[in-house]
Amino acid sequence: MITHEKADFINPEEIERILAPRPRPAASRVRELLVKAREMQGLTIDEVACLSLVESPELLEEIFSTAKKLKEDIYGSRLVLFAPLYISNRCANECTYCAFRATNTNIKRRTLTQEEIAEETRILIRQGQKRVLVVSGEALPPQGFQYILDSIATVYDTKIGSGEIRRVNVNLAPQTTERFRLLKAANIGTFQLFQETYHRPTYASVHLKGAKRDYDWRTTAFDRAMEAGIDDVGIGVLFGLYDWRFEIMAMMQHIRHLEETFGVGPHTISFPRMEPALGSEVASQPPCPVSDSDFLKMVAIMRLAVPYTGMIMSTRETAAVRRATLELGISQISAGSRTDPGGYKDSEAGSNGGQFQLGDHRSIEEVVSDVVSLGFLPSFCTACYRMGRTGHDFMDLAKPGEIKYHCHPNALSTFQEYLSDYASPQAKAAGEKLISIELQNMDARQTACALPMLNKVRRGERDVFI
Ligand code: SAM
Ligand code: SF4
């Protein structure tokens, strides 16, 4: 039994010590760290702190270009796409920054039925999505936890011809080990949970009611998930609640703890930045707002610090900020998102509203066209998780750069599937041009994998992966 009950692995004294006022790092020290990062060795907490203090435009540019090169070497041009699926906005907690908080009377409460979840899923399938993130507030309907399990099963079971959702990730309340076992048996991909803030006094001041007030229960959730056999966990902080430097250092402590205890760190890191939310003053005026330039710096530093961890950027951010972060290391983005239960169907009918205000309102087709024009290869791949390449196995494959012989061909075949089945003629032409450029840039071993797969998809076979 290795489960922790207290989050003693988050050590604020260590962070305060590292963050104590000190001179800006010398250029030679910064460059030394960039060489280390470039060799894909990652960075320590102290080294992350050092880079976070860099302000000189010249050194910042070097941080950005190193992050960019590292991303290209490990992930190539691939960019994985997904969409959130909100199933309920009922919540027993009182998080001051969230529109779903229990006492907020400004929103209409709704828990989707299984048929409504199937309807939302059908809309996402028709858009070409293959990965969904199921999201819920924290008040279960009378069926209890079974409602969550049924909802996951509904998403997997909903099909339109060969169109289907092949990976369901979840963003839910922290669970007991027993319930994590049930989620594992329900075939979830990643269990995603944002700590919101690692700073205990701030955590206490923004979580006023309900189970979420328990900082330790939340911070130790990944220990229970991993103990229950969920290899892929997704970490994150809600940026804007407390000093971003403190938060990324605490996140590094959390990652260190998972690596030391389970031999593997998180599968993904998300960077949710606080957005205005209906009925929330805190969300309109975050106590510690993160500027765009600090946000980009933070993304680049985390890319250098944990080179093999996927990094996610949601539609909270504007198209312009999202574009800038793609270069710096983001490997997954959401597209065409709605953050209210039933939002995909409702928006077809013209209405809107949600958990928070979105920065990027573009449809999946617009996002795909944009990333293609920037030279990124949209990927709808779900192979690793279905082949059991999760946790250690994924990292073992990723570390020697071997992943490009799996991920890149899989990205091409799933993108071809998207273009053949869902894209407009214009988007299809631009996408196929990108595929031919990608093929030209591949080495012989990659082409030998990718070409037969692409040909299969072009002949009508579906779900082709290695
Ligand atoms: N209820 C669960 C929880 O709190 O962990 C899961 C779902 S909750 C809807 C998902 C995430 O939305 C939260 O963890 C929080 O980080 C984020 N969120 C809440 N209010 C937000 C806001 N105003 N702007 C951006 N993200 C927000
Ligand atoms: Fe509920 Fe999650 Fe929103 Fe907090 S962040 S009010 S727990 S839905």
Instruction: From the CA of 89, give the closest atom in ligand 1.
Output: 9
Min mean pLDDT across 98-112, 120-134, 441-455 is at 441-455
pLDDT band of 424, cuts 50, 70, 90:
very high
Report the distance separating Cα 323 and Cα 359, nearest Å.
Answer: 12
Neighbours of 440 (CB within 10 A): 8
**Model confidence over 190-206: pLDDT tens digits?**
999 999 999 999 999 99
Strand partners, 273: 239
| pLDDT for res 315 | 86
Is the per-residue pLDDT at 389 higher than 90?
A: no
95 alpha carbon, closest ligand: 2
| pLDDT for res 2 | 56
What is the percent of the chain with per-residue pLDDT over 70, rounded to a whole number? 95
Question: What predicted TM-score, i.e. pTM, was given to this entire model?
Answer: 0.96
* Nearest-CA residue for atom 3 of ligand 1: 173
Is the per-residue pLDDT at 153 higher than 80?
A: yes
Identify the DSSP state of 248.
H
**What phi and psi, each to the nearest 5 degrees, are found at residue 112?**
-70, 145
| pLDDT for res 279 | 93
Q: For residue 215, with 0-12 CB atoms within 10 Å meaning exposed, 13-18 middle and 19 or more buried, which class applies?
A: buried
User: If you measure from the C-alpha of residue 137 to the centroid of ligand 2, how many angstroms do you get, rounded to a whole number?
Assistant: 5
| pLDDT for res 387 | 81
| pLDDT for res 350 | 47
Class of CATH domain 72-379: alpha beta
Is the per-residue pLDDT at 238 higher than 80?
A: yes
Average pLDDT, rounded, for the chain: 93
Is the per-residue pLDDT at 427 higher than 70?
A: yes
Does the Cβ of 104 fall within 6 Å of ligand 1? no
User: What residues does each domain of the chain span?
Assistant: 72-379, 404-458
Average pLDDT score over residue span 153-166: 97
* Nearest-CA residue for atom 20 of ligand 1: 98
Identify the DSSP state of 207.
B
Instruction: From the CA of 196, give the closest atom in ligand 2.
Output: 5
Report the distance separating Cα 125 and Cα 103, nearest Å.
Answer: 34
Average pLDDT score over residue span 41-57: 96
Neighbours of 104 (CB within 10 A): 18
* Nearest-CA residue for atom 14 of ligand 1: 194
| pLDDT for res 3 | 62
Is the per-residue pLDDT at 258 higher than 80?
A: yes
Residue 300, token pair as written in the block: 């680049």
Pick from 232, 344, 238, 223: nearest CA to 282: 238
Min mean pLDDT across 241-250, 294-303, 389-398 is at 389-398
| pLDDT for res 180 | 98
Q: Contact, 377 vs 428, CB < 8 A?
A: no
SS3 category, 131: strand
Is the per-residue pLDDT at 26 higher than 80?
A: yes
| pLDDT for res 352 | 45
279 alpha carbon, closest ligand: 1
Does the Cβ of 207 fall within 6 Å of ligand 1? no
What is the percent of the chain with per-residue pLDDT over 90, rounded to a whole number? 84
Min mean pLDDT across 21-25, 145-149, 164-168 is at 21-25
Is the per-residue pLDDT at 412 higher than 60?
A: yes
Is the per-residue pLDDT at 400 higher than 70?
A: no
pLDDT band of 463, cuts 50, 70, 90:
very high
**Model confidence over 88-120: pLDDT tens digits?**
999 999 999 999 999 999 999 999 999 999 999
| pLDDT for res 94 | 98
Is the per-residue pLDDT at 457 higher than 90?
A: yes
Is the per-residue pLDDT at 121 higher than 90?
A: yes
User: If you measure from the C-alpha of residue 17 to the centroid of ligand 1, how many angstroms do you get, rounded to a whole number?
Assistant: 30
Is the per-residue pLDDT at 171 higher than 80?
A: yes
Report the distance separating Cα 165 and Cα 159, nearest Å.
Answer: 8
Instruction: From the CA of 280, give the closest atom in ligand 1.
Output: 23
pLDDT band of 353, cuts 50, 70, 90:
low
